[in-house]
Chains A and B, each alone.
Chain A
């Protein structure tokens, strides 16, 4: 554990929040560009391009955050780690962050289903 690189551990702990941030930047950027360039009339697979791209980005972000959650829970089964082991905290932190980010990503992506992209 001592030799574990700090950067890797810390990035791992923050990964779900970083995925949320990337998703947020992506959907805001996608919608801003579509509206600025007046592409809101364009359709992809029979749906407005903004909806398809934003829901696609949301699905990818959800998958990634779910992956982080699964990785954090992996190996955290009772008995495998003592409560004194800092790895227990790191895994718990990562799992809670991933669960929170999953909800936040879904919550942020949902408006695409009901709000017009550019008004």
Chain B
């Protein structure tokens, strides 16, 4: 244990040897040309990710303009009703799933490492994989419009409209399979962000010194972990219903379309905050820089961010006020909807107070921030209005709601993102966007936005329903719609100006930026290169550059931690999650083809499924798995170097095993995702029983005997025991005992997973007959799916063992398999208890 530095000391002595910087540059040298496809560096992936998200924003926005052209005058025929339905579905889906969430994650991938002074995020290949899967999947999704097979059920895809009976083509499948798999990429990003923020902070950045943006990203990523599994399960259930006729949402057989709404909105409402909170985090970073003073009420803002994240989960029925849910239940959600405005308000007051107390710099970002405050507050106020149940009943499914959601989302997210674009652009390549073009763009966007969307409040209150492709000319909506259309085009012109500004910069017309042009106080303003900052600074306050005016120079001269590449490869320091003390040196993977191919083949697999080429889909599926194997094979290198001196008296190992390893953390977060998905399935079981007890067995006669329960549970427990034995064998370097225990354990798990559906088939239960059968088989299938995953993971562990890459001093791969294994066994027992005991105990 090394004591913390005193204020005067620098972690490393100056001057640094010349070859140190050269080694660092060599290790982080980027690839060029086609090699860009192999790249994993967050500076490159982040920029491509942001660019792709902006491309999808433009495509989705263009669809909106065509829709506005259609609605400009009554009884117009630019779009027929079928194509209009596809347009508004792809517009909403594109904006929510392919722009809003990806761009906040993309900005995080680009900005977080520099804000944390880490060399990169902890799983660079995972980021790169997430990006490529998103790019290929997103492009395919938009292409569905060209062939007129785009989904047409709205971005919320409510059944029964999207059930096989009413949507027999492949349109709905494009959404269910396409978007469902892209959400997996969002989860990959969330895991990366959580582990990155908690484990790759610079030494000294204790919890109280974490920048607000990082807190907001931590909350966002946590929300993705607990919200996205709900929509993934919902899409899986609907796709299975469509493909195999398992009636989860078909009321005649015990299903319930409201189940979709519960699962969808349990994701869908937090989604709004998943989008808003990172934007709020960006605002909380820009406001102090632009006002040249610390954020007032920093600690309160952090608690407000976390509180908003939690409370936003209590809002999902806020979207279901008109579905006949009991009044007291609605009141809980109405109360929560109002309560969530309090933490949001705390942030708004903190920003206004900071801006008011400081010496404001009038930059383009400042204008976008003021526009954001105006629009977001207005959207928040209409949010409180629709949280009042009787008002919601009046305004439900009208253009008032369209206006409200665009005020919240464009105000709460698009304006801060554009502010951030102008604010952080100089960190990209040291040039600045045009202040003049930026101001024009702002005013076009601000005026255009309000002209487009304010009239929708009025047209909504006058009774105009949303999602209509045209309307008669005698209802008094004509002028309002024409004004909205004009506003939309003005706003689009503003966006075009920003794109032109960016293109000017790309073609070398951007102004060179001075170092730290806004005189900000946080670490991302230290000049950096492909390897991030030359050395990793010791942090002593929330605004280290204000706290120590020499810090930037010290860091660039290599006076802080890890000024070189001591193991001659890419690496960063892993610190403890609370006090940020250096723990070990994490080797980071470099450029490789595997993650690119994995992303390409994963996208191809799901696209084949969507267009019903089921057998063909096996080819890219197998190739995707092979690519992942190739990807992970070179990881988990063990302690292949002796402990290294990183400065400040810290000599740290290059490898740590067990729960301190970053990949163990990644697996643990993944299991939280998995556990949430399983909880959603359990909720599905209980919900379907609540609404349709008549399809559940009335007595024990139709149920398998309790012997099945005890027998199968015993198999899971013994399988878990086999894994624990294997773990002990690894610790003792008894390879053959470990291999034997793993194989026996796998066989036991396979037996347990197969026994459940086998006994159900034997007892005459048919999945397609009722919702009861469907959910029982679904839970059993979920276990089978996990065992298949474990067969692959265990296969990898065994292969590594035979290759001499798994033993007592190099067992991170094994530990990760063990985590998933033990979780699966525990989940198996809980699942059995639910499906065997619940019908016996239920009243």
Contacts and interface: CB of A to CB of B under 8 A. Distances in A.
A117 interface: yes
A99 to B, nearest CB: 9
Contact of B578 (A28, A86, A107): A86
Tell me if B's interface is mostly helix, strand, loop or mixed.
helix
Contacts of B328: 31, 50, 54, 111-112, 115-118
A86 B532 CA distance: 27
B-side interface size class? 35 or more
A110 B335 contact: yes
A58 B299 CA distance: 28
Q: Among the interface residues B300, B310, B313, B690, which one has the most CB atoms of the partner chain A within 10 A?
A: B310
Nearest to B299: A92
B578 A1 contact: yes
Nearest to B579: A2
B682 to A, nearest CB: 12
Contacts of A96: 299-300, 303
A interface secondary structure, majority? helix
Given A32-B690, A86-B206, A104-B311, A115 B579 contact: no
B332 interface: yes
A1 B300 CA distance: 23
Contacts of B313: 21, 24
B332 A89 contact: no
Nearest to A1: B579
Nearest to A116: B327
A17 B342 CA distance: 15
Q: Which of B1, B327, B332, B581 has the most CB of A within 10 A?
A: B332
B306 A17 contact: yes
Nearest to B325: A32
Contacts of B803: none
Contact of B208 (A14, A50, A88): A88
Interface in B753-798: none
Given A86-B206, A96-B299, A117 B326 contact: yes
B527 interface: no
Contacts of B208: 86, 88-90
Contact of B303 (A21, A93, A108): A93
A64 interface: no
Given A2-B576, A89-B208, A31 B329 contact: yes
Interface string A4-41: 10100110001001001100100110011101110000
A56 to B, nearest CB: 15
Contacts of B311: 20, 104
A119 interface: yes
A27 B464 CA distance: 36
Interface string B538-560: 00000000000000000000000
A108 B581 contact: no
Contacts of A35: 326, 329
B691 interface: yes
Interface in B812-843: 843
Interface in A70-117: 86, 88-90, 92-93, 96-97, 100-101, 103-104, 107-108, 110-112, 115-117
A55 B661 CA distance: 45
A75 B339 CA distance: 30
B74 to A, nearest CB: 39
Interface in B305-360: 306-307, 310-311, 313-314, 317, 326-329, 331-332, 334-336, 338-339, 342-343
B577 A6 contact: yes
Given A86-B206, A100-B303, A32 B343 contact: no
A111 B300 contact: no
Nearest to A35: B326
A50 B327 CA distance: 12
B231 interface: no
A31 B331 CA distance: 11
Contacts of A90: 207-208
B730 interface: no
A1 B299 CA distance: 20
Given A103-B339, A111-B328, 15 more contacts: A1-B578, A2-B579, A4-B578, A6-B198, A6-B578, A9-B578, A20-B314, A24-B336, A33-B690, A35-B326, A93-B299, A96-B303, A100-B303, A115-B331, A118-B326
Interface of B: 1, 198, 206-208, 299-300, 302-303, 306-307, 310-311, 313-314, 317, 326-329, 331-332, 334-336, 338-339, 342-343, 576-579, 581, 690-691, 843
7 contacts: A17-B306, A20-B310, A21-B314, A32-B326, A86-B206, A110-B335, A117-B328
Shortest beta-carbon contacts, A-B, top 8: A89-B208, A111-B331, A86-B206, A17-B310, A35-B326, A96-B303, A6-B577, A119-B327
